[in-house]
A and B are shown apart, each in its own frame.
Chain A
Amino acid sequence: MKAPDFDYLRPETLAEAMDMLSRHGEDGAIIAGGQSLLPLLNFRLAGPERLIDIGRLAALKQIVDGDGFVEIGALVRHCDLASSEAVARAFPLLRQAVGHIAHPAVRHRGTIGGSLAMADPAAELGACCLALEAEMSLQSVRGQRWVRAVDFFAGIYETALAPDEILTAVRLPRRGPDSVQIFSEVARRRGDFAIAGLALVADNHMANPRLALLGVADRPILAEKTMALLANNMAAADQAIELIGNEIDPAEDPAYPPAYRRQLVRTLLRRTLMELLP
């Protein structure tokens, strides 16, 4: 299990990185923390001609505690996310979720941008971004564009990123002071990829609920029907729990059949809603 041969480029600035990507995007791969890419290379499941290592771009390592939003640079590591006070204050959901990502040594290298760009359907942060109505900053020599999380994820390991684009930051709108944010997942062992997970974000009395699910489709998804049913209507909890299992359509999986994942999301939602009961 040794990686195939590739070339390695390390831009020092974002402009340089975008320039490299404009030339090599089609047969190159961006590497940030490498915690998802390296296993793929070692297994020879990926074989890029060259790696473009954006790991040194200091501009992408900032957390901006902005007015009405928090902007998290793509190179912010999972461990930084876990220890950031700004993140903890505004988005307790992220802190809860990050604790489920792998193990300390992986969290020291893995980045939010890397995780989102890899778009593993069972990854925690993608679902959190959906629930938190994040917008992703995509930059290239052609310019910058902002893409909503719901439009960013395009399928298993697929995103809206064009070959020449870099995911540079994630912008999260602040929630109201009474915002509810609960993350939960089921994994066999600590740090494993979840079999299924759920991120709930809502305002007081289940206003504007957003229910994002991971591990149950080819990408993180919103349970929109269940969201609609639950909106301002905690009384519909039992129906919502039933509905959310029917709303999803998990793929066949020899280890975890679809019926099992349906059962898990029902359980996760029931337990999440129970936390909200007075």
Chain B
Amino acid sequence: MSIGAEVPRDRAKRLLLGRGRYVDDISLPRMLHLAFVRSPYAHARIEAVDCTDARALDGVVAVLTAAEIADAVASWRAEHKLFPAMAAPEQFALARDIVRWQGEAVAVVVADSRAVAEDGAELVAVTWHELVAVTDAKKALEREAPVLHDDMDSNLAFTTEVASGNTKAAFEKADHVVEEHFRFHRHSGVSLEPRGIIAEFEPSENRLTVHQSHQTPHQQQDLYARLLSLPEHKVRVICPDVGGAFGLKHHLMADELVACVAAKLLARPVKFIADRLESFLADIHCRDHEVTARMAFSPSGEILAVEVDDLFNAGAYGQYPRTSIAEGNQITRLTGAPYRHEHYTANLRMAFLNKSILGHIRSVGHPIACAVAERLVDMGAAKLGLDPIEVRRANYLHGDDFPRTSVGGVEFEYLSLRGCLDKALTMIDVPGFREEQANLRAKGIYRGLGVGTFVELTAIGPEYYGQGGQHISAQETCLLRLEASGDVRCYTGATDQGQGIDTGIQQVVSDTLGVPLAAIEVISGDSALCPVGGGSWGSRGAALAGEAALRAANTLRRNILSIAAGLLQKDVAALNIEDGTVVEAGISHMTVAEVARIGHFQPYAIPDGIPADLTVVERYATKDRLFLAGNGVQIATVEVDVDTGIVTPLRHLVVHDCGRILNPLLVREQVRGGVVQGIGSALYEELRYDDDGHLLTGSFADYLVPMAGEMPDIEVAHLENPTATSELGAKGAGEAGTAGAVSAILNAVNDAIAPLEATIAEVPVTPPRLLKALGQI
């Protein structure tokens, strides 16, 4: 069995040799390069764009503005039919008349090299009329605030309420209520490889070929076809090696669309590689929520009710095609989800403001929902004088609670929260920590321990975007092709940005089909070659593409055995495939290679009427189930330097249940990577703007990412409760680390400073914020 084994990735060998092929490694004949002219203002009217000097520059081939590309590309609106009331203002590939966020592109220079394109961009003279910028949701929703979009009455993009039970009455009756106001600042995915694309257009065939650093080639194929009015089968999107994505690369980005337009207009290949500054400015951002939340407790510590108010500082527009709602939606549905309580109300207000567009980055909404609830649980336990760990255990959904639809409307087939907590407590000696903590406090050293319980929503079902009207596949298809040699090519709609889903699928096919791993090659990331699928996002690869691969392998196995049975005059039920050989009760009869050879070259030998296809296709999609929920517990310990405000993570452990694990080697480090991203957002990462909407953190000197020196070792353990919704039993695993880390760190920091009568509920927990909370400054 290779499922469950620690199988290293084939693809990694090439990357270790420096022989990866990322978009910027590709060069095409007569290729041109782009540099954008971006708005220096968060809100301004474009009065004139003078491209004369730029066009005259040696090496500049073209300068395009909104006017020049108007006929070549359609506009779009980020609509979602499940949220029909959500505002969806019109968006353009290059800004027309008004720019609404700093960094929005108004023109593009196409030149022989990126350097010359940048020279040209400096020569484009834009006459701006600066407008008042709205940079804060609270202010954006005030009556007198300037309204960003002409077709809206206010900046309120969307509002909704999720309610269950009688929350108001429950809070009125409750003996104990805790309340906190949280601020979660804006950050982003910050893949090390920035966004990039090479677009190539063949006018004689009306054919667009795109190499793009992206997660969802079929989604892009559809978008480019529709927005550029091309037949879909004439658009091919290839995702070569992708240098990290994390959700950042599963959206439509106007910059990349402009590259396609330029390629079409000029009939020459066009490359655009975002530099780091324009990455910070113009990438999709995430978070930026202000949450006020309350939790009601009985005297014994039973959680009675939860109330959440989320003010969502969205960007200037909705993100396309998925819209920006999901983060607010997850927060309103997921806060307190691990706990058994009947009364729940969550309000969401989403405001447009003059900042970059907000979208879906790893663990959408989870870290916030989790941090809010986990902080409130700690506060409640403290108020009641109870052990926060025991309060959790007592309130966790468990045993007979399942299956259950949560008060927020999320379906739980099964959660193993108590099991995860118990396992975690075997990994860290909490009483020992408490004793040491007390001793160190006497010496002025402040350490804290924090628990974060998380539910992880993975493998989104087809209903969400299907009913939403987005052309995004939540179905996965696997095509298996038995080559004449007996080797297998496996084409999947999932894509691999390093998570290792290619390897996971290879393992599934190997086990199911009975051929060695080395005989299987997984091919992904090509919209023309691979079956239509969703790509990789929202932790869907193992659960959906894995199950599709299992089904396809079962079918191919059946066909191989049928052919063999026909040739051997045996009962097919008695045959099996082991290690590439057809066997009967352990006795080898013929190899899969022989079956393949006969199947392809001597098909006349195969009796009629048996299933003999050696290229097979199977599909899988969940139905009536929006997510597969995994779960887990994280425990962090930190040391707070109360004189400098620096927080040092000490230990961090994760117990995680993502159903059946295809490859623990890969899952473990993916969880750790998620934790580090979570620690980043808890302590370091923040896209800061000034009041006028100018980004202050446009480089790695100002936007701090977690580096090796500050990160702790992260202990990861797993419980394995397979989902019964599929034969494979896998759930997604990619959200877990990020989902729970913020809450564990935030609680640990608060635990550390509790003796100083201080609390903090703003992340990232920067040193000045912490010293302010401590009353030091």
Direct contact of A and B (CB under 8 A): yes
Stretch at the interface among B308-316, B366-374, B642-650: B642-650
Judged by a CB distance under 8 angstroms, whether B382 is at the interface is: no
Contact B122 A44 (CB under 8 A): yes
Judged by a CB distance under 8 angstroms, whether A157 is at the interface is: no
Give the Cβ gap from A261 to chain B, nearest Cβ, in Å: 9
Which chain A residue has the least Cβ–Cβ distance from B644?
A186
Contact B777 A1 (CB under 8 A): no
Judged by a CB distance under 8 angstroms, whether B707 is at the interface is: yes
Tell me the B620-641 residues at the A interface (CB within 8 Å).
none
Query: Which of B275, B688, B709 has a CB less than 8 Å from the CB of A189?
Result: B709
Interface string of A246-265 (1 = CB under 8 A from B): 00000000111101101110
Judged by a CB distance under 8 angstroms, whether B766 is at the interface is: yes
For A4, list chain B residues within 8 Å (CB): 118-119, 122
Contact A3 B701 (CB under 8 A): no
Give the one of A189, A191, A259, A264 with max B CB within 10 A: A189
With A190-B709, A254-B690, A255-B688 in contact, is A1–B275 under 8 Å at CB? yes
Contact A44 B646 (CB under 8 A): no
Give the Cβ gap from B760 to chain A, nearest Cβ, in Å: 15
Judged by a CB distance under 8 angstroms, whether A5 is at the interface is: yes
Judged by a CB distance under 8 angstroms, whether B702 is at the interface is: yes
Contact B688 A43 (CB under 8 A): no
Contact B768 A189 (CB under 8 A): no
Give the Cβ gap from B479 to chain A, nearest Cβ, in Å: 42
For A142, list chain B residues within 8 Å (CB): none
Give the Cβ gap from B502 to chain A, nearest Cβ, in Å: 32
Give the Cβ gap from A272 to chain B, nearest Cβ, in Å: 13
Contact A190 B276 (CB under 8 A): no
Query: Which of A3, A188, A192, A255 has a CB less than 8 Å from the CB of B115?
Result: A3
Contact B776 A263 (CB under 8 A): yes
Interface string of B376-413 (1 = CB under 8 A from A): 00000000000000000000000000000000000000
Interface string of B668-711 (1 = CB under 8 A from A): 00000000000000001000101000001001011010010110
Give the one of A3, A188, A191, A195 with max B CB within 10 A: A188
Contact B707 A1 (CB under 8 A): no
Contact A263 B696 (CB under 8 A): no
For B771, list chain A residues within 8 Å (CB): 260, 263
Contact A189 B710 (CB under 8 A): yes
Give the one of B118, B701, B704, B768 with max A CB within 10 A: B768
For A195, list chain B residues within 8 Å (CB): 767
Tell me the A2-20 residues at the B interface (CB within 8 Å).
2-5
Judged by a CB distance under 8 angstroms, whether B277 is at the interface is: yes
Judged by a CB distance under 8 angstroms, whether A152 is at the interface is: no
Judged by a CB distance under 8 angstroms, whether A193 is at the interface is: yes
Q: How many A-B residue pairs have CB under 8 A?
A: 67
Query: Which of A5, A44, A191, A260 has a CB less than 8 Å from the CB of B645?
Result: A260
Query: Which of A3, A193, A255, A264 has a CB less than 8 Å from the CB of B766?
Result: A255
For A189, list chain B residues within 8 Å (CB): 684, 704, 707, 709-710
Judged by a CB distance under 8 angstroms, whether B114 is at the interface is: yes
Judged by a CB distance under 8 angstroms, whether A267 is at the interface is: yes
Q: Is the interface of B mostly helix, strand, loop or mixed?
A: loop
Query: Which of A191, A256, A267, A270 has a CB less than 8 Å from the CB of B768?
Result: A256
- Docked Cα-Cα span, A220 to B710, in Å, equals 27
Contact B707 A190 (CB under 8 A): yes
Give the Cβ gap from B33 to chain A, nearest Cβ, in Å: 10
Query: Which of A5, A190, A254, A259 has a CB less than 8 Å from the CB of B777?
Result: A259
Contact A264 B277 (CB under 8 A): no
Which chain A residue has the least Cβ–Cβ distance from B690?
A254
For B701, list chain A residues within 8 Å (CB): 192-193
Query: Which of B114, B115, B277, B645 has a CB less than 8 Å from the CB of A43?
Result: B277
Contact B115 A260 (CB under 8 A): no
Which chain A residue has the least Cβ–Cβ distance from B684?
A188
For A264, list chain B residues within 8 Å (CB): 644
Contact A255 B707 (CB under 8 A): no
Contact A2 B114 (CB under 8 A): yes
Give the Cβ gap from B527 to chain A, nearest Cβ, in Å: 31
Query: Which of A5, A190, A256 has a CB less than 8 Å from the CB of B119?
Result: A5
Contact A260 B275 (CB under 8 A): no
Q: Is the interface of A mostly helix, strand, loop or mixed?
A: loop
Count of A interface residues, CB-CB < 8 Å: 26
Which chain B residue has the least Cβ–Cβ distance from A186?
B644
Tell me the A138-195 residues at the B interface (CB within 8 Å).
186, 188-193, 195
Tell me the B236-278 residues at the A interface (CB within 8 Å).
275-277
- Docked Cα-Cα span, A267 to B776, in Å, equals 11
Contact A44 B644 (CB under 8 A): no
Contact A2 B118 (CB under 8 A): yes
For A1, list chain B residues within 8 Å (CB): 118, 275-277
Contact B122 A254 (CB under 8 A): no
For B766, list chain A residues within 8 Å (CB): 255
- Docked Cα-Cα span, A260 to B776, in Å, equals 9
Tell me the B90-129 residues at the A interface (CB within 8 Å).
113-115, 118-119, 122
Give the Cβ gap from A160 to chain B, nearest Cβ, in Å: 26
Contact A188 B119 (CB under 8 A): no
With A186-B646, A189-B710, A190-B707 in contact, is A263–B118 under 8 Å at CB? no
Give the Cβ gap from B745 to chain A, nearest Cβ, in Å: 15
- Docked Cα-Cα span, A259 to B776, in Å, equals 9
For B113, list chain A residues within 8 Å (CB): 2
For A2, list chain B residues within 8 Å (CB): 113-115, 118
Tell me the B744-777 residues at the A interface (CB within 8 Å).
766-768, 771, 776-777
- Docked Cα-Cα span, A1 to B704, in Å, equals 19
Contact A260 B709 (CB under 8 A): no
For A44, list chain B residues within 8 Å (CB): 118, 122
Tell me the B115-149 residues at the A interface (CB within 8 Å).
115, 118-119, 122
- Docked Cα-Cα span, A28 to B119, in Å, equals 19
Tell me the B697-747 residues at the A interface (CB within 8 Å).
699, 701-702, 704, 707, 709-710
With A188-B684, A189-B704, A190-B710 in contact, is A263–B690 under 8 Å at CB? no
Which chain A residue has the least Cβ–Cβ distance from B768?
A260
For B275, list chain A residues within 8 Å (CB): 1
Interface string of B309-332 (1 = CB under 8 A from A): 000000000000000000000000
Tell me the A80-111 residues at the B interface (CB within 8 Å).
none
- Docked Cα-Cα span, A255 to B118, in Å, equals 30
For B702, list chain A residues within 8 Å (CB): 255
Which chain B residue has the least Cβ–Cβ distance from A190?
B709
Contact A260 B707 (CB under 8 A): no
Tell me the A193-224 residues at the B interface (CB within 8 Å).
193, 195
- Docked Cα-Cα span, A44 to B120, in Å, equals 13
Contact A267 B709 (CB under 8 A): no
For B699, list chain A residues within 8 Å (CB): 43
Give the one of A1, A43, A257 with max B CB within 10 A: A1
Contact A267 B644 (CB under 8 A): yes
Contact B643 A263 (CB under 8 A): yes
Contact B646 A257 (CB under 8 A): no
Give the Cβ gap from B597 to chain A, nearest Cβ, in Å: 54
For B767, list chain A residues within 8 Å (CB): 186, 188, 195, 256, 260
Q: List 11 A-B contacts (CB under 8 A).
A: A1-B277, A3-B115, A43-B277, A188-B767, A189-B710, A190-B710, A192-B701, A193-B701, A263-B644, A263-B776, A263-B777
Kindly list 11 other residue pairs between chains A and B, CB separation below 8 angstroms, not including A192-B701, A255-B766. A2-B114, A44-B118, A186-B646, A188-B646, A190-B707, A193-B701, A255-B702, A257-B768, A259-B777, A260-B771, A262-B777
Which residues of chain B have a CB within 8 Å of any CB of chain A?
Answer: 113-115, 118-119, 122, 275-277, 643-646, 684, 688, 690, 696, 699, 701-702, 704, 707, 709-710, 766-768, 771, 776-777
Which residues of chain A have a CB within 8 Å of any CB of chain B?
Answer: 1-5, 43-44, 186, 188-193, 195, 254-257, 259-260, 262-264, 267, 270
**Which 6 interchain pairs have the tightest Cβ spacing?**
A2-B115, A190-B709, A259-B777, A1-B275, A267-B643, A260-B768
